[in-house]
Structure 1
Amino acid sequence: MRFVIYGAGAIGGTIGARLHLAGEEVVLIARGAHLDAIRERGLRFRTPGGEHLLRIPAAERPADVDWRPGDVVLLCMKTQDTAAALADLERRAGPDIPVVCAQNGVENERLAARRFRRVYGMLVALPATHLEPGVVTASGAPLSGCLHAGRFPAGVDDTIRAVCRALDGAGFRSDAVPDVMALKYRKLLLNLGNGVDVLLGGSSWGAGGAVGRFLERLRAEGEAAFRAAGISAVSPDEYRERVTAHYRSVPVAGEQRSGSSTLQSVLRGHTVTEVDYLNGEIVMLGMLHGVPTPANRIVRELAARVAAEGRGPGHLTIDELERLAGAPQYLQ
C-alpha cells in the first residue's frame, strides 16, 4: 500500500511525515512555495520529541503521480478546495481509487461519493501548525493525534483496516470504526469555534467566561440542528474516551500551537476559509429544518468577510460579537 497525501499542509504533512518515518511508502501532493521548499530542502517536521528533515517524494498535481495498484489517497486539503481536487484526481487516477477524507466537516465525503466508488471518512483530531513553506509542526503527545476511520456512510472493510493499522503504527491512535460519521459530527461541533478564533484573535481568548459562553451557544445551535435533522453524534464523554484521552497539545521548541486550522489559513493570507462548511453546515441544517442559528450565521458571515478582505484576525471583541448575533436579521 502506498499513501498519496493530497494536500500536505499541517494535517497532511504530519500524516505523511509520520508514515514516512514508520517506513511506509508516501507521496505528497503540495503546491506553491511549500512544494518548492519540500523539493529543494525536504520537509522540516518539528515534534515534541525533536526535529526531522525528511526527503519525501512530492508532486504538484495528480497528473504528476505515477498511479499504481494499491495506492490509497488521503485528502487533506480544506473543504473549499475539495471539489476541484476531486475532479482532477478522478481524471488522473480513475473512480476506483480509495479516497479517505482526512478533513474537518462532513461535506467532503458527500463530494467524494459523487465521483468515487470507495469513499472513507476519517476523524482528524491532530494539533498541528503550518505557517512557513516547507515546515510542519506536530504538537501532539504522547501520540500525534487520533485518526479513526471507516467507510462512508458507515461500515469498515479490509482497505480501511489496513490504513488504520499503518497509522496506528506510525504515532497515531487509529481504529477502523463503523460509526466514523458520528465521530465527525461531534468534531464538527468542536470546530464551530474556529471562526470565532479568526474574529477575536488569540489575544481575546482570555476574556473571562464570555468567549466560552458564546462557544456553548454555537454548539447548542448545532445540537438543536442535529436533533431536527435526525443526525447522530457521539456524546462528549464518548468523544473524550475514544479521542482526546490519547493525546494532548504541548509546546514544540518552546512554542505553543498557532491557533485553529482556520486561523492558520487566514494568517497565511487565504481569502476563502472552511467556515462555510463548519458554521455554514449548521446554518444550512437550521434552514432546512426550521431551527434558528443566529450565532453560527454571524460567525460564518463575518469570518468569511475578514478572510475575503485580507484584514487578518482580531477586529472584534466578544461583546461586539454577542451584540451582532442578537440583531433582528440573525434571529429570524
Structure 2
Amino acid sequence: MIGAGAVGGTLGGRLFEARHDVVLVARGAHLDAIRDRGLVLETPDGSSTLPVPAVGGPDELTLTDDDVLVSAVKSQDTRSVLDAWADVPVGASGAPAAHRLPFVTAQNGVANEHAALRVFRRVYGVCVWLPASYLTPGTVQAEGHPRSGFLTVGRVPGSLDDVTARLVADLGASRFLAVEDAEVMRWKYGKLLSNLGNGLDALVGGAPGTRKLLDELRAEGEAVLTAAGIDFSTPAQEQERRGDAVQVRPVGTGPRGGSSTWQSLARGTDGIEVDYLNGEIALLGRLHGVPTPVNDAVQAAARDAQRQRRGAAPYDVAAVQELVAAAR
C-alpha cells in the first residue's frame, strides 16, 4: 500500500484486520509512528492499534509474483511512485515490477491511470468514495459506517479479469462496498466533478455561502467533459449504488477534518492535488475552448495558500468571490 494516509491507511488497516498480507509504505513522522506503535485506526466502532508492517520504500522489502502494488498517494506524487517502483525486481525471475505486477490507482483525479500505463503493463483504476482523515502521524480516522468506503474497480482500459474479481472479493470481505465495473473511468470522471469542491473547502473550510461557487465549479466541469466527449457518472447513480452502506459517522473526540486538499494544507505538505482536480478541468477547457474561470481561480488560490504555508481555510468566502470575479 504505497501511501498510508487517509485512503491508504484505511484500505491497508481494514485489509490487515481481515488477515490479508499488507505492507504500508509511508515516510517521515508517519512512518516512524507506525513502526514504533503500529497504525492507529479510529472508526465509529472504536480505535484499534494494528501492527501493520511499514517500510519507507522498495529497498526494504522483496517483491514476489503474488504482490499487488496499490498507489494511494496524491496525484502530484504519482510520478515519483512510478519512478521508485517500476524497475524493482520481482521474485526469482528478476523481471521488473512494471512487467510482472498489477498496479492499482486508488487515487482521486483521472491522470494517474495514463501515467501508470506508460510504464506498467497492467493498470487497475479504483474510484474511491471513502470518508477519512489523516492529520496526526500514525493515526488515521475512517468515518464510514457500516462500510468504510465505496470502491469501484476496473482494469484500464475498460475490462474485467481475475485481478479485478480478487480485489473486489478481498475488499468486500474487509469492510468495504466494492464492485467491478469495466467503465471505471466513467465513475472516476464523475468523482472528479465532486472533487472540484475540495480546493474551495481548503480555502474557506465549512464556511456558509459557498453553494453558488460549488455549483459553478461543477457546471464548468460538466461543460468541459461534455465538450471533450467524456462520459461521467452522476451523483444520483453513485447514491443508487452506494445506498446506505457508507454513512459518515463521528470518530474520536475532535471535529472532523475537511477534504483531502484541506487536510494537505492543514498538515503543511509540500504539494496539493488541485492541479489534478480543478487543473484537470482547466486543461480540458483550454483544449476544447471552454472557459473555466471559477476552477482557474480556486486552483490559483489553493496553490498560493500551499506555497505560502497559510494553513487550511486561509480565506473567507467574499475573498474567493473576488478572485473569481477577477478571473472572469
TM-score normalised by the shorter chain: which range applies?
over 0.9
**Cα-to-partner distance string for 1:82-122 (whole Å, 9 max, x where unaligned):** 10111110121521210010000001111100000000110
Q: Which runs of 5+ in 2 are unaligned?
A: 90-95
Structure 1 residue aligned with 2:3? 7
Q: Does residue 73 of structure 2 align to residue 59 of structure 1? A: no
Structure 1 residue aligned with 2:13? 17
Q: Could you tell me how far apart the structure 1 residues matched to 2:270 and 2:307 are?
A: 4
CA offset at residue 153 of structure 1?
2.2
What is the one-letter code of the residue matched to 1:74? V
Equivalent residues, number: 320
Counterpart of 1:115 (choices 114, 119, 123) is 119
Using a 3 Å threshold, how does the CA distance of structure 1 residues 116 and 13 change in structure 2: closer, same or farther? same
Structure 2 residue aligned with 1:261? 260
What is the one-letter code of the residue matched to 2:275? D
Greater mean deviation of Cα atoms: 216-225 or 269-278: 269-278
CA offset at residue 66 of structure 1?
1.2
1:1-332 aligned within 5 A: 5-93=1-89, 94=96, 95=98, 96-202=100-206, 204=207, 207=208, 210-243=209-242, 245-327=244-326, 330-331=327-328
Partner-residue secondary structure (3-state), 2:298 = helix
What is the one-letter code of the residue matched to 2:205? G
What is the one-letter code of the residue matched to 1:149? V
Q: Percent identity?
A: 46
CA offset at residue 168 of structure 1?
0.4
Partner-residue secondary structure (3-state), 1:147 = strand
CA offset at residue 244 of structure 1?
5.7
Partner-residue secondary structure (3-state), 1:175 = strand
Q: Could you tell me how far apart the structure 2 residues matched to 1:69 and 1:98 are?
A: 10
Q: Could you tell me how far apart the structure 1 residues matched to 2:28 and 2:12 are?
A: 18
Q: Say whether the 8 Å CA contact 1:127–1:257 is kept in structure 2.
A: no
The alignment's TM-score, normalised by the length of structure 1, stands at 0.94
Q: Could you tell me how far apart the structure 1 residues matched to 2:316 and 2:39 are?
A: 37
Q: Say whether the 8 Å CA contact 2:262–2:312 is kept in structure 1.
A: yes
CA offset at residue 254 of structure 1?
4.0
Q: Which runs of 5+ in 1 are unaligned?
A: none
What is the one-letter code of the residue matched to 1:16? G
Q: Which runs of 4+ in 1 moved over 6 A?
A: none
CA offset at residue 236 of structure 1?
2.1
Partner-residue secondary structure (3-state), 1:91 = coil
Greater mean deviation of Cα atoms: 91-100 or 166-175: 91-100
Q: Could you tell me how far apart the structure 1 residues matched to 2:314 and 2:63 are?
A: 46
What is the one-letter code of the residue matched to 2:318? D
Q: Say whether the 8 Å CA contact 2:267–2:311 is kept in structure 1.
A: no
Q: Say whether the 8 Å CA contact 2:263–2:312 is kept in structure 1.
A: no
What is the one-letter code of the residue matched to 1:297? D
Using a 3 Å threshold, how does the CA distance of structure 1 residues 67 and 285 change in structure 2: closer, same or farther? same
Partner-residue secondary structure (3-state), 2:178 = coil
